[in-house]
A and B are shown apart, each in its own frame.
Chain A
Protein backbone atom coordinates (compact mmCIF):
# COMPACT_ATOMS: atom_id res chain seq x y z
CA UNK A 1 0.00 0.00 0.00
CA UNK A 2 1.23 3.55 -0.66
CA UNK A 3 3.00 5.52 2.06
CA UNK A 4 0.04 7.69 3.01
CA UNK A 5 -2.68 5.08 2.81
CA UNK A 6 -3.21 5.12 6.57
CA UNK A 7 -3.14 8.90 7.05
CA UNK A 8 -6.46 9.10 8.90
CA UNK A 9 -5.75 6.08 11.07
CA UNK A 10 -2.31 7.36 12.01
CA UNK A 11 -3.73 10.75 12.88
CA UNK A 12 -6.31 9.09 15.12
CA UNK A 13 -3.54 7.05 16.72
CA UNK A 14 -1.34 10.12 17.20
CA UNK A 15 -4.12 12.09 18.88
CA UNK A 16 -4.92 9.32 21.31
CA UNK A 17 -1.32 8.61 22.19
CA UNK A 18 -0.72 12.34 22.56
CA UNK A 19 -3.59 12.65 25.04
CA UNK A 20 -2.34 9.55 26.83
CA UNK A 21 1.12 11.01 27.26
CA UNK A 22 -0.35 14.32 28.39
CA UNK A 23 -2.33 12.53 31.07
CA UNK A 24 0.73 10.57 32.17
CA UNK A 25 2.72 13.78 32.36
CA UNK A 26 0.22 15.41 34.72
CA UNK A 27 -0.41 12.30 36.76
CA UNK A 28 3.30 11.63 37.27
CA UNK A 29 3.87 14.85 39.23
CA UNK A 30 1.79 13.55 42.11
CA UNK A 31 4.03 10.53 42.54
CA UNK A 32 6.94 12.40 44.16
CA UNK A 33 4.50 14.45 46.23
CA UNK A 34 3.05 11.27 47.67
CA UNK A 35 6.31 9.50 48.43
CA UNK A 36 7.78 12.65 49.95
CA UNK A 37 4.74 13.08 52.18
CA UNK A 38 5.09 9.49 53.36
CA UNK A 39 8.73 10.11 54.14
CA UNK A 40 7.88 13.19 56.18
CA UNK A 41 7.99 16.12 53.76
CA UNK A 42 4.53 17.54 53.07
CA UNK A 43 4.58 19.83 50.04
CA UNK A 44 0.84 19.98 49.49
CA UNK A 45 0.54 23.36 51.18
CA UNK A 46 2.55 24.84 48.31
CA UNK A 47 -0.02 23.58 45.81
CA UNK A 48 -3.06 25.11 47.48
CA UNK A 49 -5.55 26.28 46.35
CA UNK A 50 -4.88 24.46 43.08
CA UNK A 51 -4.65 21.09 44.79
CA UNK A 52 -6.44 20.97 48.11
CA UNK A 53 -5.18 17.77 49.67
CA UNK A 54 -3.05 14.65 49.44
CA UNK A 55 -6.22 12.77 48.59
CA UNK A 56 -7.14 15.00 45.69
CA UNK A 57 -3.63 14.50 44.34
CA UNK A 58 -4.00 10.75 44.79
CA UNK A 59 -7.32 10.81 42.91
CA UNK A 60 -5.69 12.67 40.03
CA UNK A 61 -2.69 10.32 40.05
CA UNK A 62 -4.86 7.24 39.88
CA UNK A 63 -7.38 8.47 37.32
CA UNK A 64 -4.81 10.06 35.00
CA UNK A 65 -2.25 7.23 35.14
CA UNK A 66 -4.35 4.11 35.61
CA UNK A 67 -7.46 5.08 33.62
CA UNK A 68 -6.75 7.88 31.14
CA UNK A 69 -3.15 7.10 30.10
CA UNK A 70 -3.97 3.45 29.62
CA UNK A 71 -7.32 3.73 27.84
CA UNK A 72 -6.18 6.39 25.39
CA UNK A 73 -2.81 4.76 24.68
CA UNK A 74 -4.45 1.41 24.07
CA UNK A 75 -7.18 2.80 21.80
CA UNK A 76 -4.56 4.62 19.77
CA UNK A 77 -2.12 1.73 19.63
CA UNK A 78 -4.68 -0.94 18.75
CA UNK A 79 -6.24 1.21 16.00
CA UNK A 80 -2.77 1.42 14.51
CA UNK A 81 -1.84 -2.24 14.95
CA UNK A 82 -5.12 -3.53 13.54
CA UNK A 83 -5.06 -1.59 10.28
CA UNK A 84 -1.35 -2.14 9.69
CA UNK A 85 -1.52 -5.83 10.50
CA UNK A 86 -4.50 -6.35 8.21
CA UNK A 87 -3.06 -3.96 5.62
CA UNK A 88 -6.58 -2.59 5.43
CA UNK A 89 -8.03 0.82 6.26
CA UNK A 90 -10.79 1.26 8.85
CA UNK A 91 -14.08 0.02 7.44
CA UNK A 92 -16.13 2.97 8.74
CA UNK A 93 -13.71 5.70 9.84
CA UNK A 94 -16.57 7.89 11.06
CA UNK A 95 -17.31 5.26 13.73
CA UNK A 96 -13.77 5.27 15.14
CA UNK A 97 -13.50 9.06 14.99
CA UNK A 98 -16.85 9.40 16.77
CA UNK A 99 -15.65 6.99 19.44
CA UNK A 100 -12.55 9.05 19.98
CA UNK A 101 -14.51 12.31 20.22
CA UNK A 102 -16.85 10.78 22.79
CA UNK A 103 -13.82 9.64 24.80
CA UNK A 104 -12.30 13.12 24.62
CA UNK A 105 -15.55 14.76 25.69
CA UNK A 106 -15.82 12.33 28.60
CA UNK A 107 -12.27 13.10 29.65
CA UNK A 108 -12.90 16.84 29.81
CA UNK A 109 -16.17 16.29 31.66
CA UNK A 110 -14.50 14.11 34.31
CA UNK A 111 -11.38 16.26 34.58
CA UNK A 112 -13.18 19.40 35.64
CA UNK A 113 -14.65 18.11 38.92
CA UNK A 114 -11.39 16.26 39.61
CA UNK A 115 -9.44 19.49 39.34
CA UNK A 116 -12.03 21.40 41.36
CA UNK A 117 -11.82 18.95 44.27
CA UNK A 118 -15.35 17.72 43.60
CA UNK A 119 -14.32 14.16 42.79
CA UNK A 120 -11.78 13.34 45.49
CA UNK A 121 -12.94 9.76 45.59
CA UNK A 122 -9.83 7.99 44.21
CA UNK A 123 -9.90 6.04 40.99
CA UNK A 124 -12.18 3.39 42.53
CA UNK A 125 -14.86 5.95 43.55
CA UNK A 126 -16.46 3.60 46.12
CA UNK A 127 -19.89 4.85 47.19
CA UNK A 128 -21.30 6.28 49.38
CA UNK A 129 -18.50 8.81 49.01
CA UNK A 130 -20.12 10.90 46.30
CA UNK A 131 -18.46 12.92 43.55
CA UNK A 132 -20.03 15.39 41.16
CA UNK A 133 -22.34 13.71 38.65
CA UNK A 134 -20.13 15.03 35.84
CA UNK A 135 -17.28 12.87 37.09
CA UNK A 136 -19.32 9.68 36.73
CA UNK A 137 -20.91 10.77 33.44
CA UNK A 138 -17.51 11.78 32.07
CA UNK A 139 -15.89 8.45 32.90
CA UNK A 140 -18.89 6.62 31.45
CA UNK A 141 -18.46 8.54 28.19
CA UNK A 142 -14.80 7.53 28.07
CA UNK A 143 -15.87 3.88 28.37
CA UNK A 144 -18.71 4.25 25.83
CA UNK A 145 -16.33 6.00 23.42
CA UNK A 146 -13.95 3.06 23.70
CA UNK A 147 -16.84 0.73 22.84
CA UNK A 148 -17.59 2.72 19.71
CA UNK A 149 -13.95 2.51 18.66
CA UNK A 150 -14.01 -1.21 19.41
CA UNK A 151 -17.02 -1.66 17.15
CA UNK A 152 -15.18 0.21 14.41
CA UNK A 153 -12.33 -2.30 14.69
CA UNK A 154 -14.77 -5.24 14.68
CA UNK A 155 -16.27 -4.00 11.39
CA UNK A 156 -12.77 -3.70 9.96
CA UNK A 157 -11.78 -7.24 10.92
CA UNK A 158 -15.10 -8.58 9.64
CA UNK A 159 -14.48 -6.92 6.28
CA UNK A 160 -11.00 -8.47 6.12
CA UNK A 161 -12.32 -11.94 6.94
CA UNK A 162 -14.96 -11.64 4.24
CA UNK A 163 -12.32 -10.86 1.63
CA UNK A 164 -9.82 -13.45 2.97
CA UNK A 165 -11.86 -16.59 3.61
CA UNK A 166 -9.74 -19.62 4.62
CA UNK A 167 -6.83 -17.37 5.70
CA UNK A 168 -5.73 -17.08 9.32
CA UNK A 169 -6.21 -13.61 10.78
CA UNK A 170 -2.78 -11.97 11.07
CA UNK A 171 -1.72 -12.43 14.68
CA UNK A 172 -1.27 -8.75 15.62
CA UNK A 173 -4.74 -7.83 14.34
CA UNK A 174 -6.22 -10.90 16.03
CA UNK A 175 -4.74 -10.01 19.42
CA UNK A 176 -5.74 -6.36 19.06
CA UNK A 177 -9.37 -7.05 18.22
CA UNK A 178 -9.64 -9.73 20.91
CA UNK A 179 -8.42 -7.20 23.47
CA UNK A 180 -11.22 -4.81 22.51
CA UNK A 181 -13.81 -7.60 22.54
CA UNK A 182 -12.74 -8.69 26.00
CA UNK A 183 -12.85 -5.08 27.20
CA UNK A 184 -16.33 -4.57 25.85
CA UNK A 185 -17.67 -7.50 27.85
CA UNK A 186 -15.58 -6.64 30.91
CA UNK A 187 -16.68 -3.00 31.09
CA UNK A 188 -20.35 -3.97 31.38
CA UNK A 189 -19.97 -4.16 35.17
CA UNK A 190 -18.66 -0.63 35.43
CA UNK A 191 -21.28 0.60 32.98
CA UNK A 192 -24.02 -0.99 35.09
CA UNK A 193 -22.62 0.57 38.26
CA UNK A 194 -22.63 3.98 36.55
CA UNK A 195 -25.98 3.76 34.77
CA UNK A 196 -28.03 2.08 37.47
CA UNK A 197 -26.40 3.30 40.69
CA UNK A 198 -23.96 6.19 40.61
CA UNK A 199 -25.33 8.51 37.93
CA UNK A 200 -28.99 8.55 39.05
CA UNK A 201 -27.80 8.87 42.66
CA UNK A 202 -25.37 11.71 42.03
CA UNK A 203 -27.99 13.53 39.96
CA UNK A 204 -30.39 13.30 42.89
CA UNK A 205 -32.93 11.11 41.09
CA UNK A 206 -32.37 8.34 43.66
CA UNK A 207 -31.68 9.16 47.31
CA UNK A 208 -29.42 6.31 48.30
CA UNK A 209 -27.28 3.50 47.00
CA UNK A 210 -25.96 0.08 48.04
CA UNK A 211 -22.19 0.20 48.65
CA UNK A 212 -21.52 -3.53 48.33
CA UNK A 213 -23.38 -3.77 45.04
CA UNK A 214 -21.42 -0.76 43.76
CA UNK A 215 -18.13 -2.36 44.79
CA UNK A 216 -19.01 -5.68 43.21
CA UNK A 217 -20.01 -4.16 39.88
CA UNK A 218 -16.81 -2.07 39.93
CA UNK A 219 -14.60 -5.10 40.48
CA UNK A 220 -16.46 -7.09 37.81
CA UNK A 221 -14.61 -4.69 35.51
CA UNK A 222 -11.74 -3.91 37.84
CA UNK A 223 -9.98 -7.19 37.36
CA UNK A 224 -10.29 -7.63 33.58
CA UNK A 225 -9.27 -4.01 33.08
CA UNK A 226 -5.75 -5.13 33.97
CA UNK A 227 -5.90 -7.52 31.00
CA UNK A 228 -7.23 -4.68 28.86
CA UNK A 229 -3.94 -3.02 29.88
CA UNK A 230 -1.81 -6.15 29.52
CA UNK A 231 -3.02 -7.77 26.31
CA UNK A 232 -1.80 -4.92 24.06
CA UNK A 233 1.59 -5.47 25.73
CA UNK A 234 1.33 -9.18 24.91
CA UNK A 235 0.47 -8.24 21.29
CA UNK A 236 3.84 -6.51 21.19
CA UNK A 237 5.75 -9.19 23.13
CA UNK A 238 4.42 -12.04 20.95
CA UNK A 239 3.83 -10.26 17.68
CA UNK A 240 6.62 -7.68 17.42
CA UNK A 241 9.42 -8.19 19.93
CA UNK A 242 10.71 -11.51 18.51
CA UNK A 243 11.36 -9.68 15.23
CA UNK A 244 13.12 -6.87 17.12
CA UNK A 245 15.25 -9.51 18.84
CA UNK A 246 16.27 -11.21 15.61
CA UNK A 247 14.17 -14.27 16.44
CA UNK A 248 10.83 -15.78 15.53
CA UNK A 249 7.55 -16.34 17.36
CA UNK A 250 8.11 -19.75 18.93
CA UNK A 251 4.50 -20.91 18.50
CA UNK A 252 1.74 -19.11 16.61
CA UNK A 253 -1.03 -21.49 17.79
CA UNK A 254 -0.05 -21.25 21.47
CA UNK A 255 0.13 -17.46 21.24
CA UNK A 256 -3.43 -17.45 19.93
CA UNK A 257 -4.56 -20.01 22.49
CA UNK A 258 -3.23 -17.79 25.29
CA UNK A 259 -5.31 -14.90 23.99
CA UNK A 260 -8.48 -17.03 23.77
CA UNK A 261 -7.90 -18.20 27.34
CA UNK A 262 -7.67 -14.57 28.43
CA UNK A 263 -10.98 -13.85 26.71
CA UNK A 264 -12.60 -16.67 28.63
CA UNK A 265 -10.88 -16.32 32.01
CA UNK A 266 -10.22 -12.58 32.56
CA UNK A 267 -13.67 -11.66 33.75
CA UNK A 268 -15.15 -14.36 36.03
CA UNK A 269 -12.55 -13.65 38.74
CA UNK A 270 -13.28 -10.19 40.15
CA UNK A 271 -14.24 -11.35 43.65
CA UNK A 272 -10.56 -11.85 44.39
CA UNK A 273 -10.50 -8.08 44.93
CA UNK A 274 -13.22 -8.53 47.55
CA UNK A 275 -11.80 -11.33 49.71
CA UNK A 276 -11.92 -9.02 52.74
CA UNK A 277 -15.46 -7.82 52.05
CA UNK A 278 -18.46 -8.68 54.20
CA UNK A 279 -21.70 -9.83 52.61
CA UNK A 280 -20.24 -12.34 50.12
CA UNK A 281 -20.37 -16.08 50.81
CA UNK A 282 -17.00 -17.87 50.97
CA UNK A 283 -18.16 -20.33 48.29
CA UNK A 284 -18.13 -17.59 45.66
CA UNK A 285 -14.84 -16.16 46.87
CA UNK A 286 -13.43 -19.69 46.62
CA UNK A 287 -14.75 -20.26 43.10
CA UNK A 288 -13.22 -16.99 41.94
CA UNK A 289 -9.92 -18.07 43.53
CA UNK A 290 -9.86 -21.22 41.41
CA UNK A 291 -10.76 -19.28 38.26
CA UNK A 292 -8.05 -16.71 39.06
CA UNK A 293 -5.50 -19.50 39.22
CA UNK A 294 -6.92 -20.50 35.84
CA UNK A 295 -6.18 -17.09 34.35
CA UNK A 296 -2.62 -17.30 35.70
CA UNK A 297 -2.10 -20.20 33.31
CA UNK A 298 -2.09 -18.28 30.00
CA UNK A 299 0.42 -15.87 31.56
CA UNK A 300 2.66 -18.85 32.39
CA UNK A 301 2.26 -19.99 28.78
CA UNK A 302 3.19 -16.49 27.65
CA UNK A 303 6.36 -16.56 29.74
CA UNK A 304 7.55 -19.66 27.93
CA UNK A 305 6.56 -18.71 24.39
CA UNK A 306 7.89 -15.17 24.60
CA UNK A 307 11.19 -16.07 26.30
CA UNK A 308 11.71 -18.95 23.86
CA UNK A 309 11.07 -16.56 20.97
CA UNK A 310 13.70 -14.19 22.32
CA UNK A 311 16.09 -17.10 22.91
CA UNK A 312 15.83 -17.93 19.20
CA UNK A 313 16.94 -14.36 18.50
CA UNK A 314 19.79 -14.45 21.01
CA UNK A 315 21.12 -17.73 19.63
CA UNK A 316 20.76 -16.48 16.04
CA UNK A 317 22.91 -13.54 17.07
CA UNK A 318 25.65 -15.86 18.35
CA UNK A 319 24.65 -16.68 21.91
CA UNK A 320 25.79 -20.05 23.28
CA UNK A 321 25.32 -22.02 26.47
CA UNK A 322 22.40 -21.87 28.83
CA UNK A 323 22.36 -18.10 29.34
CA UNK A 324 24.78 -16.65 26.78
CA UNK A 325 21.92 -15.78 24.43
CA UNK A 326 20.64 -13.18 26.90
CA UNK A 327 23.66 -10.91 26.49
CA UNK A 328 23.47 -11.24 22.70
CA UNK A 329 19.99 -9.72 22.55
CA UNK A 330 19.75 -6.20 21.06
CA UNK A 331 20.02 -4.28 24.33
CA UNK A 332 21.20 -1.20 22.43
CA UNK A 333 17.70 -0.88 20.99
CA UNK A 334 15.74 1.09 23.63
CA UNK A 335 12.46 -0.35 22.41
CA UNK A 336 13.79 -3.86 23.00
CA UNK A 337 15.47 -3.04 26.30
CA UNK A 338 12.33 -1.42 27.70
CA UNK A 339 10.17 -4.43 26.95
CA UNK A 340 12.71 -7.00 28.08
CA UNK A 341 13.11 -5.17 31.40
CA UNK A 342 9.33 -4.84 31.63
CA UNK A 343 9.10 -8.62 31.28
CA UNK A 344 11.63 -9.21 34.02
CA UNK A 345 9.83 -6.84 36.38
CA UNK A 346 6.49 -8.38 35.48
CA UNK A 347 7.75 -11.76 36.66
CA UNK A 348 7.68 -10.37 40.21
CA UNK A 349 4.36 -8.68 39.68
CA UNK A 350 3.00 -12.04 38.61
CA UNK A 351 4.25 -13.88 41.69
CA UNK A 352 2.78 -11.13 43.87
CA UNK A 353 -0.48 -11.43 41.99
CA UNK A 354 -0.71 -15.15 42.67
CA UNK A 355 -0.03 -14.49 46.35
CA UNK A 356 -2.78 -11.85 46.47
CA UNK A 357 -5.16 -14.21 44.72
CA UNK A 358 -4.57 -17.08 47.15
CA UNK A 359 -7.81 -16.61 49.04
CA UNK A 360 -6.99 -16.24 52.74
CA UNK A 361 -3.38 -15.23 52.06
CA UNK A 362 -4.80 -11.90 51.01
CA UNK A 363 -5.42 -11.17 54.71
CA UNK A 364 -1.66 -10.77 55.16
CA UNK A 365 -1.39 -7.96 52.58
CA UNK A 366 -4.81 -6.52 51.73
CA UNK A 367 -4.90 -2.72 51.52
CA UNK A 368 -1.31 -2.38 52.70
CA UNK A 369 1.52 -0.74 50.78
CA UNK A 370 2.34 -4.24 49.43
CA UNK A 371 -0.59 -3.77 47.08
CA UNK A 372 0.82 -0.43 45.92
CA UNK A 373 4.15 -2.13 45.25
CA UNK A 374 2.32 -4.87 43.33
CA UNK A 375 0.36 -2.70 40.95
CA UNK A 376 3.31 -0.47 40.21
CA UNK A 377 5.18 -3.58 39.05
CA UNK A 378 2.30 -4.61 36.82
CA UNK A 379 0.60 -1.55 35.35
CA UNK A 380 3.48 0.73 36.28
CA UNK A 381 6.23 -1.34 34.72
CA UNK A 382 5.02 -4.34 32.72
CA UNK A 383 2.50 -2.11 30.97
CA UNK A 384 3.90 1.44 31.14
CA UNK A 385 7.52 0.52 30.46
CA UNK A 386 6.40 -1.62 27.51
CA UNK A 387 4.29 1.26 26.20
CA UNK A 388 7.38 3.46 26.58
CA UNK A 389 9.34 0.91 24.56
CA UNK A 390 6.65 0.91 21.90
CA UNK A 391 6.70 4.70 21.59
CA UNK A 392 10.40 4.50 20.80
CA UNK A 393 9.57 3.04 17.38
CA UNK A 394 5.96 4.22 17.02
CA UNK A 395 6.64 7.94 17.44
CA UNK A 396 9.49 7.86 14.88
CA UNK A 397 7.17 5.91 12.59
CA UNK A 398 4.26 8.35 12.93
CA UNK A 399 6.46 11.43 12.55
CA UNK A 400 8.99 10.16 10.03
CA UNK A 401 11.73 11.48 12.32
CA UNK A 402 14.59 9.69 14.05
CA UNK A 403 14.27 8.99 17.75
CA UNK A 404 15.78 12.10 19.34
CA UNK A 405 18.55 10.13 21.11
CA UNK A 406 18.82 6.37 21.37
CA UNK A 407 21.41 6.74 24.11
CA UNK A 408 19.17 9.00 26.21
CA UNK A 409 16.36 6.52 25.61
CA UNK A 410 18.51 3.70 26.98
CA UNK A 411 19.30 5.80 30.07
CA UNK A 412 15.60 6.51 30.48
CA UNK A 413 14.63 2.87 30.21
CA UNK A 414 17.25 1.52 32.62
CA UNK A 415 16.68 4.30 35.16
CA UNK A 416 12.95 3.57 35.05
CA UNK A 417 13.55 -0.12 35.70
CA UNK A 418 15.96 0.60 38.57
CA UNK A 419 13.66 3.21 40.11
CA UNK A 420 10.65 0.90 39.90
CA UNK A 421 12.61 -1.88 41.57
CA UNK A 422 13.57 0.38 44.49
CA UNK A 423 10.07 1.86 44.79
CA UNK A 424 8.25 -1.42 44.56
CA UNK A 425 10.52 -3.58 46.72
CA UNK A 426 10.37 -1.10 49.61
CA UNK A 427 6.58 -0.86 49.37
CA UNK A 428 6.18 -4.65 49.28
CA UNK A 429 8.40 -5.01 52.31
CA UNK A 430 6.90 -2.31 54.50
CA UNK A 431 3.38 -3.47 53.69
CA UNK A 432 4.13 -7.12 54.37
CA UNK A 433 6.25 -6.67 57.48
CA UNK A 434 4.43 -3.80 59.22
CA UNK A 435 1.01 -3.65 57.60
CA UNK A 436 1.46 0.01 56.65
CA UNK A 437 -1.86 1.05 55.10
CA UNK A 438 -2.28 2.28 51.52
CA UNK A 439 -4.37 5.29 50.36
CA UNK A 440 -3.27 7.13 53.49
CA UNK A 441 -1.57 10.45 54.18
CA UNK A 442 0.98 8.65 56.33
CA UNK A 443 3.12 11.65 57.27
CA UNK A 444 0.13 13.14 59.08
CA UNK A 445 -0.96 9.90 60.76
CA UNK A 446 -0.71 9.99 64.57
CA UNK A 447 0.06 6.26 64.54
CA UNK A 448 3.11 6.59 62.25
CA UNK A 449 5.76 4.22 63.62
CA UNK A 450 9.49 5.11 63.46
CA UNK A 451 10.36 1.64 62.05
CA UNK A 452 8.51 2.59 58.86
CA UNK A 453 10.53 5.66 58.08
CA UNK A 454 13.76 4.26 56.58
CA UNK A 455 11.77 2.13 54.12
CA UNK A 456 9.56 5.05 53.15
CA UNK A 457 12.65 7.17 52.55
CA UNK A 458 13.99 4.46 50.25
CA UNK A 459 10.59 4.39 48.55
CA UNK A 460 10.79 8.16 48.10
CA UNK A 461 14.14 7.84 46.36
CA UNK A 462 12.58 5.31 44.00
CA UNK A 463 9.54 7.49 43.40
CA UNK A 464 11.54 10.60 42.63
CA UNK A 465 13.85 8.71 40.30
CA UNK A 466 10.75 7.34 38.52
CA UNK A 467 9.47 10.88 38.03
CA UNK A 468 12.83 11.99 36.65
CA UNK A 469 12.96 9.03 34.28
CA UNK A 470 9.48 9.80 33.00
CA UNK A 471 10.37 13.45 32.48
CA UNK A 472 13.27 12.26 30.31
CA UNK A 473 10.79 10.11 28.38
CA UNK A 474 8.66 13.17 27.66
CA UNK A 475 11.74 15.12 26.57
CA UNK A 476 12.57 12.27 24.18
CA UNK A 477 9.07 12.17 22.72
CA UNK A 478 8.85 15.94 22.30
CA UNK A 479 12.38 16.06 20.94
CA UNK A 480 11.47 13.46 18.35
CA UNK A 481 8.20 15.12 17.35
CA UNK A 482 9.74 18.56 16.96
CA UNK A 483 13.19 17.38 15.96
CA UNK A 484 14.61 18.15 12.58
CA UNK A 485 16.21 14.85 11.68
CA UNK A 486 13.98 13.18 9.16
CA UNK A 487 14.52 9.42 9.05
CA UNK A 488 16.52 8.12 6.11
CA UNK A 489 14.26 5.09 5.96
CA UNK A 490 10.87 5.03 7.60
CA UNK A 491 10.71 2.92 10.75
CA UNK A 492 8.19 0.15 10.20
CA UNK A 493 5.98 -1.69 12.67
CA UNK A 494 7.94 -4.82 13.59
CA UNK A 495 6.05 -7.99 12.65
CA UNK A 496 7.37 -11.28 13.99
CA UNK A 497 7.25 -14.39 11.83
CA UNK A 498 6.36 -17.67 13.50
CA UNK A 499 8.51 -20.83 13.30
CA UNK A 500 5.60 -22.59 11.63
CA UNK A 501 3.49 -20.52 9.22
CA UNK A 502 0.17 -19.40 10.67
CA UNK A 503 -1.59 -21.03 7.72
CA UNK A 504 -0.92 -24.28 9.59
CA UNK A 505 -2.60 -23.04 12.77
CA UNK A 506 -5.91 -24.91 13.15
CA UNK A 507 -9.10 -23.04 12.34
CA UNK A 508 -10.59 -23.51 15.80
CA UNK A 509 -7.99 -21.00 17.01
CA UNK A 510 -9.46 -18.42 14.63
CA UNK A 511 -13.15 -18.99 15.31
CA UNK A 512 -14.91 -16.50 17.56
CA UNK A 513 -18.33 -17.84 18.48
CA UNK A 514 -17.43 -20.86 20.65
CA UNK A 515 -14.92 -18.84 22.67
CA UNK A 516 -17.36 -15.97 23.18
CA UNK A 517 -20.01 -18.44 24.31
CA UNK A 518 -17.57 -19.99 26.77
CA UNK A 519 -16.61 -16.55 28.12
CA UNK A 520 -20.23 -15.55 28.69
CA UNK A 521 -21.13 -18.93 30.19
CA UNK A 522 -18.33 -18.69 32.76
CA UNK A 523 -19.39 -15.15 33.69
CA UNK A 524 -22.97 -16.30 34.22
CA UNK A 525 -21.79 -19.22 36.38
CA UNK A 526 -19.34 -17.25 38.50
CA UNK A 527 -21.14 -13.93 38.86
CA UNK A 528 -24.77 -14.82 38.20
CA UNK A 529 -25.76 -16.24 41.56
CA UNK A 530 -23.84 -13.86 43.86
CA UNK A 531 -24.91 -10.79 41.86
CA UNK A 532 -28.52 -11.97 41.66
CA UNK A 533 -28.57 -12.41 45.42
CA UNK A 534 -26.95 -9.00 45.96
CA UNK A 535 -29.41 -7.28 43.65
CA UNK A 536 -32.41 -9.04 45.20
CA UNK A 537 -31.34 -7.97 48.70
CA UNK A 538 -30.01 -4.55 47.68
CA UNK A 539 -30.71 -1.75 50.10
CA UNK A 540 -30.47 1.61 48.35
CA UNK A 541 -30.35 3.65 51.52
CA UNK A 542 -26.75 4.86 51.82
CA UNK A 543 -26.88 8.57 51.11
CA UNK A 544 -24.04 10.34 49.36
CA UNK A 545 -21.29 11.90 51.44
CA UNK A 546 -18.77 14.48 50.45
CA UNK A 547 -16.35 14.51 53.36
CA UNK A 548 -13.14 15.81 51.96
Chain B
Protein backbone atom coordinates (compact mmCIF):
# COMPACT_ATOMS: atom_id res chain seq x y z
CA UNK B 1 0.00 0.00 0.00
CA UNK B 2 1.30 3.42 -0.89
CA UNK B 3 1.01 6.06 1.79
CA UNK B 4 -1.41 8.85 0.73
CA UNK B 5 0.54 11.98 -0.15
CA UNK B 6 0.15 15.35 -1.89
CA UNK B 7 0.96 15.47 -5.59
CA UNK B 8 4.52 16.70 -6.41
CA UNK B 9 3.38 19.91 -8.10
CA UNK B 10 6.30 21.91 -6.68
CA UNK B 11 8.74 19.42 -8.14
CA UNK B 12 7.22 19.73 -11.59
CA UNK B 13 7.32 23.52 -11.31
CA UNK B 14 11.03 23.47 -10.37
CA UNK B 15 11.79 21.05 -13.20
CA UNK B 16 9.96 23.14 -15.79
CA UNK B 17 12.21 26.06 -14.86
CA UNK B 18 15.21 23.72 -15.04
CA UNK B 19 14.26 22.37 -18.46
CA UNK B 20 13.79 25.90 -19.82
CA UNK B 21 17.17 26.96 -18.44
CA UNK B 22 18.82 23.88 -19.92
CA UNK B 23 17.31 24.58 -23.32
CA UNK B 24 18.46 28.21 -23.23
CA UNK B 25 22.02 27.45 -22.12
CA UNK B 26 22.42 24.52 -24.49
CA UNK B 27 20.97 26.57 -27.32
CA UNK B 28 23.38 29.45 -26.77
CA UNK B 29 26.40 27.16 -27.02
CA UNK B 30 24.90 25.49 -30.10
CA UNK B 31 24.43 28.86 -31.78
CA UNK B 32 28.02 29.77 -30.86
CA UNK B 33 29.22 26.59 -32.56
CA UNK B 34 27.32 27.51 -35.71
CA UNK B 35 28.55 31.10 -35.59
CA UNK B 36 32.21 30.12 -35.31
CA UNK B 37 32.04 28.26 -38.59
CA UNK B 38 32.21 24.86 -40.20
CA UNK B 39 35.29 22.68 -39.60
CA UNK B 40 35.31 20.92 -42.98
A residues whose Cβ falls under 8 Å from a Cβ of B? 248, 250, 303-304, 307-308, 311-312, 314-315, 319, 322-323, 325-326, 347, 351-352, 354-355, 358, 360-361, 363-365, 432, 499-501
Contacts and interface: CB of A to CB of B under 8 A. Distances in A.
B33 A351 contact: no
Pairs A-B, 6 closest by C-beta atoms: A308-B8, A500-B2, A308-B11, A307-B11, A311-B10, A351-B22
A250 B8 contact: yes
Given A308-B8, A352-B25, 17 more contacts: A307-B8, A311-B11, A312-B6, A315-B6, A322-B13, A323-B10, A325-B10, A326-B10, A347-B18, A354-B22, A358-B30, A363-B36, A364-B29, A364-B32, A432-B32, A499-B5, A500-B3
B7 to A, nearest CB: 9
A347 B15 CA distance: 10
A355 B36 contact: no
A355 B29 contact: yes
Nearest to B39: A363
Contact of A322 (B10, B18, B21, B39): B10
Given A250-B8, A312-B6, A363-B39, A307 B14 contact: yes
A186 B19 CA distance: 30
B11 A360 contact: no
A115 B39 CA distance: 42
Secondary structure type dominating chain B contacts: helix
With most chain B CB atoms within 10 A of its CB, the pick from A308, A322, A361 is: A308
Number of contact residues on B: which range applies?
20 to 34
B15 A364 contact: no
A319 B10 CA distance: 10
Contacts of A312: 5-6, 8
Contacts of B9: 322
Contacts of B25: 351-352, 355
A314 B10 contact: yes
A325 B6 CA distance: 12
Nearest to B35: A364
Contacts of A308: 8, 11
A304 B33 CA distance: 31
B22 A303 contact: no
Contact of B33 (A314, A323, A363): A363
Contact of B13 (A323, A432, A500): A323
B3 A499 contact: yes
Contacts of B32: 364, 432
Contact of A358 (B8, B11, B26): B26
30 contacts: A250-B8, A303-B18, A304-B8, A304-B11, A304-B15, A307-B10, A308-B11, A311-B6, A311-B11, A312-B6, A314-B10, A322-B13, A323-B10, A323-B13, A347-B18, A351-B25, A351-B26, A354-B22, A355-B29, A358-B26, A358-B29, A358-B30, A360-B39, A361-B29, A364-B29, A364-B32, A500-B1, A500-B2, A500-B3, A501-B1
